[in-house]
Structure 1
Amino acid sequence: DFVPVQEGNAPLIAAMSQPAIRIVALTVTEGGYYQTGTGDFDAAHADMVHDAANPDTPRSAFGAMIAALRARRDADAGPFTCQSCDNLQGNGDILRQTIVGLARLSDAALADWIDAHCTFPNAMVDCIVPATGPSELALARDLGVADNVPVTHENFRQWVIEDAFCAGRPAWEKVGATLTNDVHAYEAMKLRCLNAGHQIIANAGEILGVETINGCMENAAINAFFHKVELTEIVPHVHAVPGMTPEAYVDLIARRFANPQIRDTTRRVAFDGSSRHPGFILPVIRDALAAGTSVCGLALVEALWARMCEGTREDGSEIAPNDPSWDALQAAAKAAKTRPESWLDQTRIYGDLARDAVFVTAFSRWLSLINEVGTTATLTAYVANDPQID
């Protein structure tokens, strides 16, 4: 069925209030969970302030879920499972933080009831789904399918779910899902190798005018850069899961990224870097700094993002705005052309990393080198272990 989108979310709240509803699953994007730069609940965000003051007519999906849970509690209809499907480490834990944190702003007793009775399973979803564009529309037509919004995806799919459902669940394991009580290792492997891997190659691809992810993997400099960063700076901070080592997983995703049948655009993968880099790249940098291992290539990933956010490719063509915070990112990127550290002054993104001498030094050297010799030469220098920049 379809629930109409209306201001105040009354139809959605009514649907979720029905006793037959046992699970409410959502995908709102990595940056949509109202977190501060340190990962805490952002109670000061305008949406959260609004929903706390207007709990019966909320603006956010989380406010709507809370309103439905209030109605269910009052009607003795029981709780439902709140299930995040977003690419976040501990996505269920983060969803709990958002729901309980928001509820507590207006109704402490309800917040306690939700915290005690609802479950928030962590999960990892893995399947590359390109944005629908002309090639996907043409594929549907060629197949004889009349569809103006066809969705295509690769032939790989994986869903790992923490088995924590307060009101029952379908037997998803019968159709290939993995139910487990320890999903974190799967989450970390996927987010750090695949999602971070996308960010490793996408910004370089945008700067060089490479349109697709498989095109990035065909580019010798980008491909070599991807493999070196993954195997030397990410894999050491990823644990194996049953049946898969981190090294084997990197090989698997390299083949998936190179699949020419999946026309995944570089622009789509580079979109919303202000959410994706803090979610996928920066946690690995922090772990590596704490362990005393190299962040040289990861600092280069961040320098490439900064260069991309200047808004032009090396051929002089324009990169259209590609982030909800594009204006601020572009201003920081332009300031960083003369003072690289200006990019890291974005504390909502980098936090304490802007004060780490090892990371700041590596980042600044890379961004200066990119501006001096270009992206391809810089990637080649990194892969070749040029002592002047390592």
Structure 2
Amino acid sequence: MTLSDTAPGNLSPQVARPGYDRSALTHGIVHVGLGNFHRAHQAVYLDDLFALGEGHDWAITGAGVRAPDAAMREVLLAQDCLSTVIELDETGARARIVGSMIDFLPVEEGNGALIAKMADAATRIVSLTVTEGGYFVSAETGTFDPTHPEIRADAARSEAPHTVFGAIVAALKQRRAAGIDPFTVMSCDNLPGNGEVTRDAVVGFAQLVDLELADWIEGQVAFPNGMVDRITPATGARERALAGKLGLDDPVPVTCEPFRQWVLEDNFPLGRPALEKVGVTFTSDVHTYERMKIRILNGGHALIAYPAALLGVELAHEAMAHPLVHGFFRKVEAQEILPHVHPVPEFDPESYLDLIDARFSNPAVEDTTRRLCLDGSNRQPKFIVPSIRDGLEAGTPVEGLALISALWARYCQGVLEDGTPVAPNDPNWQALVIRAGEAKLRPAAWLEMRDVYGGLGENPRFAGAFAKWFEIVNHDGVAAALEAFID
């Protein structure tokens, strides 16, 4: 059965359907980036809230600024913007149809429809999941990079921009001219200080095109920080087959773990949905939650993904069952990451690590190591490098963090240990492959990527550890390196 507003009444009783009248929903949020994570996270929280009979004026209008977003738009519009979300664990699969999104804007050159919708007074929140690499952050400075070619090109065509930040600035300009209060910009990406990073990008872009507008944005627009969490694999044949077993013909179903978490600063001048009623934590201490999650979970994904992938292990739960990979993961987390993480009301770092261990080990989710290896050039600076810096400053161990850098470099040589080629898995893949080849002769070449490591390559303790482990990985193999580290 193809999803539609008329189909839910005929669905299998195994599939939960929206517990509210979708025709009564009205627009309140523009969300840019309709990938699996958003549809299993923010969209689900709003779906839960709407089912309580609350917040029906906060429905989502989807949007995108990249070519793949147009394909997603076509699919979702064909099924009335409904999404299948399937939670998986050892007890089985629990499916629901999520109906919190009511429209998907055209994806077009110049982003005219997106700008117009954001400029509309009914839009009170603009939210984003545009990936960690979508914020144009320089790893060397840790701030927005106004010299990035896409940003410079957008500044020259600011009325018809290609980037989401150019579109946001264009919409805010229209609202200011019309005397309409600005919307709140809410990042839902895994970035340290994601609200501050988003402010840097929006204000930084505005400074290139209109200094007075930039000052107004800096003083008037809210950018709440937030932490988001849910493991959500990519969709493939298995996920579509799971939907099919439930009688659903959905080309883009979402599978995920049961666990989800959302922590937000309560900074929404035009109002917000009452998300605290469906489990969202509002706090002024988002950074502590965020550091715990990004360092332990996102950093932990890297710790298992690269060694496991190189050893030919394809799934995350299989990586956790591999004694060397799991031993490496636990030792690095305990000795090199947890010392720089602080407790939150719900968890201390040790109990949170045990939770992450159990979540990574969930065999039903079948997350792939390839997905976890994706986009290392953007993820390493945000999830691994901060722990390296903290360790160097505090004089605590960084050997395991140096080894994960060496394993990432080995992965970027483009071939697994059994000779299987690695298909491109990073926006900068070709450059990474070239540099990984150079590093075989001169390990320091890898650490000279200042957009990843900043000046860490000049630190003798870290550079020496990296060179040592990179040589062991290349000459003795991944297993030998893991054994040597664990012992």
TM-score range relative to shorter protein: over 0.9
Q: Partner residue of 1:88?
A: 191
CA distance in 2: counterparts of 1:346 and 1:47, whole angstroms: 20
Which structure 2 residue ranges, 5 or more long, are not aligned?
1-102
Q: Deviations over 1:116-141 (max 9, x none)?
A: 11100000000000000121111111
| Residue 27, structure 1, aligned to residue 129, structure 2 | yes
| Residue 368, structure 1, aligned to residue 471, structure 2 | yes
| Residue 14, structure 1, aligned to residue 116, structure 2 | yes
Q: Partner residue of 1:2?
A: 104
Query: Quick check: 1:10–1:57 contact (8 Å CA) kept in 2?
Result: yes
Q: Partner residue of 2:280?
A: 177
| Residue 70, structure 1, aligned to residue 173, structure 2 | yes
Identity of aligned residues (%): 54
CA distance in 2: counterparts of 1:222 and 1:173, whole angstroms: 38
CA deviation after TM superposition for structure 1 residue 40, in Å: 2.0
CA deviation after TM superposition for structure 1 residue 172, in Å: 0.3
| Residue 55, structure 1, aligned to residue 130, structure 2 | no
CA distance in 1: counterparts of 2:419 and 2:209, whole angstroms: 52
Q: 1:360 is aligned with what amino acid?
A: A
CA distance in 2: counterparts of 1:309 and 1:158, whole angstroms: 32
CA distance in 1: counterparts of 2:266 and 2:284, whole angstroms: 6
Find the partner of 1:211 among 277, 291, 314.
314
| Residue 295, structure 1, aligned to residue 386, structure 2 | no
Larger strand fraction of residues: 2
Find the partner of 2:350 among 247, 255, 259.
247
Q: Partner residue of 1:387?
A: none
CA distance in 2: counterparts of 1:40 and 1:187, whole angstroms: 18
Q: 1:355 is aligned with what amino acid?
A: E
CA distance in 2: counterparts of 1:161 and 1:42, whole angstroms: 26
| Residue 269, structure 1, aligned to residue 372, structure 2 | yes
CA distance in 1: counterparts of 2:144 and 2:195, whole angstroms: 14
CA distance in 2: counterparts of 1:358 and 1:196, whole angstroms: 21
RMSD of aligned Cα (Å): 0.8
Q: Partner residue of 1:39?
A: 142
* Number of residue pairs aligned between Structure 1 and Structure 2: 384
The structure 1 segments of at least 4 consecutive aligned residues displaced by more than 6 Å after TM superposition are: none
CA distance in 1: counterparts of 2:480 and 2:278, whole angstroms: 47
Q: 1:122 is aligned with what amino acid?
A: N
Superposition TM-score, scaled by structure 2 size: 0.78
Query: Quick check: 1:117–1:166 contact (8 Å CA) kept in 2?
Result: no
CA deviation after TM superposition for structure 1 residue 215, in Å: 1.1
CA distance in 2: counterparts of 1:237 and 1:336, whole angstroms: 30
CA distance in 2: counterparts of 1:308 and 1:61, whole angstroms: 31
Superposition TM-score, scaled by structure 1 size: 0.97
SS of 2:371's partner is helix
Query: Quick check: 1:193–1:234 contact (8 Å CA) kept in 2?
Result: yes
| Residue 191, structure 1, aligned to residue 297, structure 2 | no
CA distance in 1: counterparts of 2:410 and 2:336, whole angstroms: 21
Q: 1:14 is aligned with what amino acid?
A: A
CA distance in 1: counterparts of 2:480 and 2:133, whole angstroms: 33
CA distance in 2: counterparts of 1:73 and 1:338, whole angstroms: 56
